[in-house]
C-alpha cells in the first residue's frame, strides 16, 4: 500500500510502498477514505512523542472495515466506521466505566503504531473503539471528529459543562479552536475567538463568534484585558486550543472569578514542566480541566447533533489533498497559517 512515512525524527516524509497491516486479535483493518492532518502529527514528526521508526503518522480517520481479527463481535467487513484517536484496551477499570480516553493501556494510531496517512490502518480493541458512521455523514466529516472536534466537544460539554448564555473564550482558531467555536455557539454560549491570524478569525466570525481579538505582534491586543472588557469581567470558560505557555496563560487570565479553563492544546514542558499562573487559579478559584479526546461510547450524542445539522464539522474542512501533498505539508504544520482543517484522501479512487 502507499503511505506517508519518515525514517528519522525530523526527516523529510516520503510517500512509499509499504506492507499492508494485518488485523490484530480483537481489532480490524480499515481502508482509509479520509484522514485529517493535525498539529499532533507534526509533534510526532518533530520528536515530541515516543514513536518507533520508520513511522506512518495519522490519527483522525474514517473508512470501511476491510479485515476483521479474531474475537471481534460487533464489526464486519464493509462497515463504515470512525474511531477516537485514543483507542482504549476495553478491559481496564477506566474502559469499563466508559472513559477509554484515559486508558493506561491505550493505543493511538499514528503514535503507538502506524497511522492512517496510508491506504489501510490497523485499529485495536474494535468492540470498544469503533464508531459506526451513518450513511448521511460523509467520511470527511467523520474523520474530522476523531481528535480535534471530539476533544473540543468533550472539553466544552463533558468537562466544562458550558451553559447557554455563558461567555466562552477560545484561544487559537485552528481545527480544534474553530470546532470549539462551532460547538459553543450550538450550546447557546457567547464566544470570543482569539488568534494571531486575522484570516482564521474571519472563519471564526462566519461560524458565529460574537467577538474576535487579534493577538500578538505590534498591533495585537493584550488578550486578557480585551476579553475582560468585552465580557465585562471575564469569560466563564476559556479554552487553550493552541498549547503554549503564552496561550495557556492568556486563557487563564481571561477568565472571570470561579471560571473554568480547558486545556486542549498540547503544552510542551519548559524546564521540565509547563509554567501555569497558579496564583490566579488559587485567588479566583479557577478550575483547570484537561481534555483528552472522547471515548467511542460518548459519540452517539455528538453524531445525533451532526445528523440533525446542528453541528456541521464538514464546514471546518478548508482543503482536501492527496498523500504526496500531505507529506510535503507535514514538516511546516507548526507554522501553518491556514485556517480550518486539512483532509487527506489516501486512496485516489474512493
> Of 18 and 92, which CB lies nearer to Zn ion in the complex structure?
92
> Of 67 and 102, which CB lies nearer to Zn ion in the complex structure?
102
Q: Is residue 89 within the footprint of Zn ion (CB under 5 A)?
A: yes
Choose the binding region for Zn ion from 39-47, 162-170, 249-257, 279-287 (rule: CB under 5 A).
39-47
What is the distance between the alpha carbons of residues 21 and 28, in angstroms, rounded to a whole number? Answer: 10
Which three cell numbers mark 183? 460547538
Choose the binding region for Zn ion from 9-17, 91-99, 290-298, 331-339 (rule: CB under 5 A).
91-99
Choose the binding region for Zn ion from 83-91, 155-163, 212-220, 245-253 (rule: CB under 5 A).
83-91
What is the distance between the alpha carbons of residues 33 and 61, in angstroms, rounded to a whole number? Answer: 8
Choose the binding region for Zn ion from 139-147, 154-162, 163-171, 248-256 (rule: CB under 5 A).
139-147
Instruction: Supply the DSSP symbol for 187.
Output: T
> Of 112 and 208, which CB lies nearer to Zn ion in the complex structure?
112
Q: What is the smallest separation between the CB atom of 271 and Zn ion, expressed in angstroms?
A: 27
Q: What is the smallest separation between the CB atom of 45 and Zn ion, expressed in angstroms?
A: 13
Q: Is residue 121 within the footprint of Zn ion (CB under 5 A)?
A: no
Among 92, 214, 297, 338, binds Zn ion (CB under 5 A): 92
Q: Is residue 252 within the footprint of Zn ion (CB under 5 A)?
A: no
Q: What is the smallest separation between the CB atom of 35 and Zn ion, expressed in angstroms?
A: 10
> Of 38 and 200, which CB lies nearer to Zn ion in the complex structure?
38
3-state secondary structure at position 311: coil
Which residues lie below 8 Å from residue 120, measured CB to CB, with a gap of 6+? 1, 20, 21, 29, 30, 31, 32, 66
What is the distance between the alpha carbons of residues 218 and 253, in angstroms, rounded to a whole number? Answer: 20
The closest alpha carbon to 82, from 19, 143, 169, belongs to 143
What is the distance between the alpha carbons of residues 206 and 93, in angstroms, rounded to a whole number? Answer: 42
> Of 104 and 134, which CB lies nearer to Zn ion in the complex structure?
104
Q: What is the smallest separation between the CB atom of 32 and Zn ion, expressed in angstroms?
A: 15
> Of 95 and 173, which CB lies nearer to Zn ion in the complex structure?
95
Among 2, 33, 37, 40, binds Zn ion (CB under 5 A): 40
Choose the binding region for Zn ion from 94-102, 134-142, 299-307, 316-324 (rule: CB under 5 A).
94-102
Burial 84-97 (b: 16+ CB within 10 A, else e): bbbbbbbebebbee
Choose the binding region for Zn ion from 82-90, 186-194, 216-224, 242-250 (rule: CB under 5 A).
82-90
**φ/ψ of residue 161, rounded to 5:** 50, 55
Dihedral in degrees, nearest 10, Cα atoms 35, 38, 42, 47: -90
Number of C-beta neighbours around residue 235 at 10 A: 27
First to last CA, the chain: 14
* Nearest-5° Cα angle at 44, 41 to 48: 135
According to CB under 5 A, which residues from 140 to 159 bind Zn ion? 147
3-state secondary structure at position 332: helix
What is the distance between the alpha carbons of residues 343 and 164, in angstroms, rounded to a whole number? Answer: 31
Among 30, 34, 95, 187, binds Zn ion (CB under 5 A): 95
Among 5, 30, 51, 103, binds Zn ion (CB under 5 A): 103
How many residues form the binding site for Zn ion (CB under 5 A)?
Answer: 8
> Of 88 and 177, which CB lies nearer to Zn ion in the complex structure?
88
What is the distance between the alpha carbons of residues 131 and 93, in angstroms, rounded to a whole number? Answer: 21
Instruction: Supply the DSSP symbol for 148.
Output: I
Binding site for Zn ion (CB under 5 A): 38, 40, 88-89, 92, 95, 103, 147
Amino acid at each position: 500500500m502507499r503511505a506517508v512515512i519518515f525514517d528519522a525524527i525530523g526527516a523529510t516524509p516520503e510517500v512509499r510502498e509499504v506492507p499492508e497491516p494485518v488485523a490484530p486479535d480483537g481489532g480490524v483493518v480499515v481502508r482509509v477514505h479520509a484522514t485529517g492532518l493535525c498539529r499532533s502529527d507534526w509533534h510526532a514528526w518533530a520528536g515530541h512523542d515516543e514513536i518507533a521508526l520508520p513511522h506512518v503518522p495519522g490519527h483522525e480517520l474514517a473508512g470501511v472495515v476491510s479485515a476483521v481479527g479474531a474475537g471481534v463481535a460487533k464489526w464486519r467487513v464493509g462497515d463504515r466506521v470512525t474511531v477516537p484517536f485514543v483507542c482504549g484496551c476495553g478491559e481496564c477499570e477506566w474502559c469499563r466505566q466508559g472513559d477509554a480516553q484515559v486508558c493506561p493501556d491505550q493505543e493511538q494510531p499514528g503514535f503507538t503504531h502506524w497511522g492512517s496517512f496510508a491506504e489501510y490502518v490497523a485499529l485495536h480493541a474494535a468492540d470498544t473503539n469503533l464508531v459506526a458512521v451513518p450513511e448521511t455523514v460523509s467520511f470527511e466529516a467523520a474523520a474530522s471528529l476523531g481528535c480535534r472536534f471530539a476533544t473540543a466537544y468533550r472539553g466544552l460539554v463533558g468537562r466544562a459543562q458550558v451553559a447557554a448564555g455563558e461567555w466562552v473564550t477560545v484561544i487559537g482558531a485552528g481545527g480544534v479552536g474553530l470546532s470549539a467555536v462551532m460547538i459553543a455557539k450550538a450550546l447557546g454560549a457567547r464566544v470570543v475567538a482569539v488568534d494571531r491570524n486575522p484570516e482564521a478569525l474571519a472563519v471564526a466570525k462566519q461560524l458565529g463568534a460574537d467577538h474576535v481579538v487579534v493577538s500578538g505582534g505590534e498591533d495585537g491586543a493584550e488578550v486578557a484585558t480585551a476579553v475582560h472588557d468585552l465580557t465585562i469581567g471575564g469569560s466563564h470558560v476559556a479554552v487553550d486550543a493552541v498549547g503554549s505557555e503564552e496561550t495557556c496563560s492568556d486563557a487563564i487570565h481571561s477568565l472571570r472569578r470561579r471560571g473554568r479553563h480547558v486545556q486542549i492544546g498540547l503544552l510542551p514542558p519548559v524546564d521540565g514542566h509547563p509554567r501555569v499562573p497558579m496564583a490566579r487559579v488559587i485567588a479566583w478559584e479557577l478550575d483547570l480541566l484537561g481534555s483528552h479526546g472522547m471515548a467511542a461510547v460518548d459519540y452517539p450524542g455528538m453524531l445525533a447533533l451532526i445528523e440533525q445539522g446542528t453541528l456541521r464539522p464538514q464546514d471546518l474542512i478548508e482543503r482536501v489533498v492527496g498523500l504526496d501533498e500531505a507529506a510535503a505539508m507535514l514538516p511546516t504544520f507548526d507554522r501553518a497559517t491556514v485556517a480550518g482543517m486539512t483532509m487527506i484522501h489516501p486512496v485516489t479512487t474512493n
